[in-house]
Amino acid sequence: MEEKPGPPIGNGSELFSLPAGPATLCFDKNEFMKKTFSVDEFLHENRNAGSLEIIRDDLGLYLKVLRSAMIELINQDYADFVDLSANLIGLDQQIDAIEGPLKKLRDEVDQVKGALEGSMSEIASCLEQKKLLRAYKKSLQSLARAQASLSKLEGMLLLSERKEPFDATLLERAALESIQLQFNSKFCHSFLDDGKRQLAQELWSELLDRLKSYFLRSLNEPEPKELERCLRIYCTLDECRTAEEVFRGEIVAPFMNRVISETSLQNSPQGLTGIYNQILDFVSMHMKQLCQLTKRNGKVKGYSFIVNSFWAEVERRMETNMSSIFAPGNPDAFYQKYKCTLEFLERIEQIIDDADDVAQFKAHAQYRSFQLRWNLPVYFQIRFQEIGAELEASCNDSAAAQRQLAKSISASQFNVAQFSVALTAISRCWQDGVFLPQLFHRFLKLTLQILARLSVWCGEVSRSAPKQEQEGGSEDGTERIRFMVALYSDLRNIELKIPSIVNLVAEKSPTGTSRTELETIIGESGTIFGDRRSQLQRLIVQELITASIPQLRQVSDIPRLYRKTNRDVPSRCCSYVEQVLAPTDTFRKNYDSMIGDEAMRDFLTGVYNHVTVQYYQMIDEVLTSVQKTEESLRRLKNLRDRSGTAAASSTATTNNTDRVATSDDDKIRLQLQVDVMHYVRFVEDQAKISRQDVNQLPQLIQLVEDAIKGRLTSEQTQ
């Protein structure tokens, strides 16, 4: 049976379909068409298909198939093969015929290309020479103009020096001529000799001197026309900074040298505020026209006399002549000086009255240097020590916390001094005279540190409270519970203060601060206080449990009260029940109004959960013991009955003894039931707690009721 032809194998438009071979071949015929075909790999892959002889035989068979397919292909396309061979006859002679003309054409093209390249090189050389000649000619023309400008400028300056009164028009012409001289000098710099350069520099300096005199004269003019004209001349010469330096050195510096000094500061009735007022008065007295002309919507552009002349000189004088204002040793004085300085800077910004110019003012190097001179970190560190010292001293004196407890604790105020101290410290962080907006994040961090320190102190006091249990009696325990309740109340009050602290911080926060973020950050402290309060609640519950549990031991004494004592049937509870309930009853009466009904139920439920479980275990043990005693007496009676009939007197005595024992056990059960029901009534009526909310309380009731029912059923059966 022969296999079907394989799929076409190849790339592009050339596809080859291998002829089908015998189905018994031990290899895949398509492997021969792979580009990566290798004899070694072929033998390695087919080594398990059969022996070498079998592979050889199969290859021989498939070779025959390929030869047959090739012959068949030639037979099918024989006409095409013949036509192809016929078309190739004489092709060599045709190629030789066109080869000669093509070579000749290529030589001619190379000759034309060489001629063109030579011509292009010659033209490029000529153009370069022409360019150099043009530049040389331009330089000579610029040299001629520069020499003419030098002569004209020199003549104008001489004429200006002789002419009285001062001729501003002549100065404007000299400025324009100077611009021309500078422009032409750029193109003929290599042709100017040192003498010409020196003369040009001297004329430039002389022009600036004349312009300086004109500027100082125009400042004193009542009308701004001449000042505007002078500023325009400076702007034409691109010497705006020179005009600012002239104003700073000739006008600002002498005035500030008199005003800004340690002597002026000490003699000023208003202190630093008076100095700042005098500085600002300078602007209104000497810079009014300059500010009007050079502001953004003014007539002259390119000047900033407030920043580059006024402020630069003021800041330099303050750093050198009045450095005492930067000392942070006295925080109150430092605060007043810094606030006064901030107001001073705000008034300067109002004078500038333009957002871009204000930004330029704040970006000025001397502005940043001036801000850094105020050592705000040191000021904050001093405030940090002042604010935190009292709280830290109060927290370190933990032993005095209980002694300092208010005589009558209240739910509406802080009872422990540390809480009042902490809240006062937080308020001081944000009060006027202490808080600076530039230190907002530091004071916020200090507020969080105060809350965290208070929380840590509460944890330390909570952990140390149980250690006092062995040091004193019930009086110490009462005082300890009183202190922990006061601490619990204060923790709840400080939690309620968190929103007001958030409001306090939000009022002082910079623009753009998210109130939600503040609530989240400060609210985490409230969560920590809540955890501390839960911890205190567990400690108080444990204290009450410790005071209640020892009285439950008297439950085991009840059988001794009724066995062979001939007591009456119990009608009221034993004293131990009142003693067990006394600690919680006292706690409820003393602190119910302060803790609140809901929290009080949580406290008492926690106590009764534990006490009831212990109570259940003890009553179960007593009932089990009573039941075992009854069974022992019953077995003894049965033994006596089987020993035979005894004397009548002996029998009567035994029966009386049995009845007495049985009656005493019933009294024990009844007493336990009375005690339990009194306990249940107190929990439900006084503590206002449902019996279903107390662990094993329903089971305890069921236990004593089942004991009574079980005894009655047993007697009826007998």
Q: What is the DSSP string of 68-107?
A: HHHHHHHHHTHHHHHHHHHHTTTHHHHHHHHHHHHHHHHH
Contact 542, 466 (CB under 8 A): yes
Cα separation, 635 vs 123, in Å, equals: 145
Angle, CA of 378, 381 and 382, to the nearest 5°: 90
Q: Residue 276 to residues 237, 283, 312, 318, 337: CA-CA distances in angstroms?
A: 35, 11, 15, 11, 11
Structure tokens at 367: 């502005």
| Residue 601: burial class (beta carbons within 10 Å; 0-12, 13-18, 19+) | middle
Cis peptide before 165 (omega within 30 of 0): yes
Strand-pair partners of 567: none
Helices (H) and strands (E) in the chain, counts: 28, 0
- DSSP string of 231-254? HHHHHHTT-HHHHHHHHIIIIIHH
Cα separation, 286 vs 31, in Å, equals: 102
At 401-429, the pLDDT tens digits run 555 565 556 666 788 888 999 999 999 99
Q: Residue 213 to residues 206, 209, 217: CA-CA distances in angstroms?
A: 11, 6, 6
Contact 192, 257 (CB under 8 A): no
Q: Does the model's pTM come out above 0.75? A: no
Cα separation, 317 vs 642, in Å, equals: 126
| Residue 478: burial class (beta carbons within 10 Å; 0-12, 13-18, 19+) | middle
- DSSP string of 182-209? HHHHHHSGGG--HHHHHHHHHHHHHHHH
Structure tokens at 442: 């530091």
Residue of 697, 693, 713 lying closest to 605 (CA atoms): 693
Strand-pair partners of 22: 2
At 432-460, the pLDDT tens digits run 999 999 999 999 999 999 999 999 998 88
Contact 325, 265 (CB under 8 A): yes
Cα separation, 428 vs 377, in Å, equals: 18
Cα separation, 164 vs 416, in Å, equals: 89
Domain parsing of the chain, residue ranges: 29-88, 552-632+663-715
Residues 6+ apart with CB under 8 A from 619: 555, 672, 676, 700, 703, 704
Q: What is the DSSP letter of 307?
A: I
Nearest-10 crossing angle of helices 355-363, 365-373: 60
Residue of 359, 276, 289, 346 lying closest to 315 (CA atoms): 276
Cα separation, 461 vs 486, in Å, equals: 12
CA–chain centroid gap for 322, Å, is 40
Cα separation, 673 vs 675, in Å, equals: 5
Cα separation, 422 vs 668, in Å, equals: 58
Cα separation, 252 vs 675, in Å, equals: 99
Contact 281, 348 (CB under 8 A): no
CA–chain centroid gap for 198, Å, is 63
Buried b (16+ CB within 10 A) or exposed e, 65-104: beeebeeeeeeeeeeeeeeeeeeeeeeeeeeeeeeeeeee
Contact 637, 658 (CB under 8 A): yes
Angle, CA of 645, 651 and 654, to the nearest 5°: 130
pLDDT at 9: 45
Q: First-to-last CA distance in the chain?
A: 104
Give backbone dihedrals phi and psi of 64, rounded to 5 degrees, phi first.
Answer: -65, -40
Cα separation, 405 vs 397, in Å, equals: 13
Structure tokens at 404: 């300092």
Contact 390, 425 (CB under 8 A): yes
Residue 126's H or E segment, with its range, is helix 91-162
Residue written as token pair 């056990």: 665
Cα separation, 625 vs 664, in Å, equals: 13
- Hey, what amino acid is at 49? A
The C-alpha R_g of the chain, in whole angstroms, comes to 57
Contact 235, 302 (CB under 8 A): yes
Angle, CA of 539, 541 and 543, to the nearest 5°: 70
* Residues of the chain under the 50 pLDDT cut: 1-4, 6-7, 9-14, 466-473, 645-662
Cα separation, 461 vs 533, in Å, equals: 12
Cα separation, 274 vs 644, in Å, equals: 127
Q: Residue 110 to residues 115, 119, 124: CA-CA distances in angstroms?
A: 9, 14, 21
Strand-pair partners of 9: 16
Contact 22, 53 (CB under 8 A): no
- DSSP string of 472-517? S-HHHHHHHHHHHHHHHHHHHHHHHHHHHHHHHHHHHSPTT--HHH
Cα separation, 63 vs 627, in Å, equals: 109
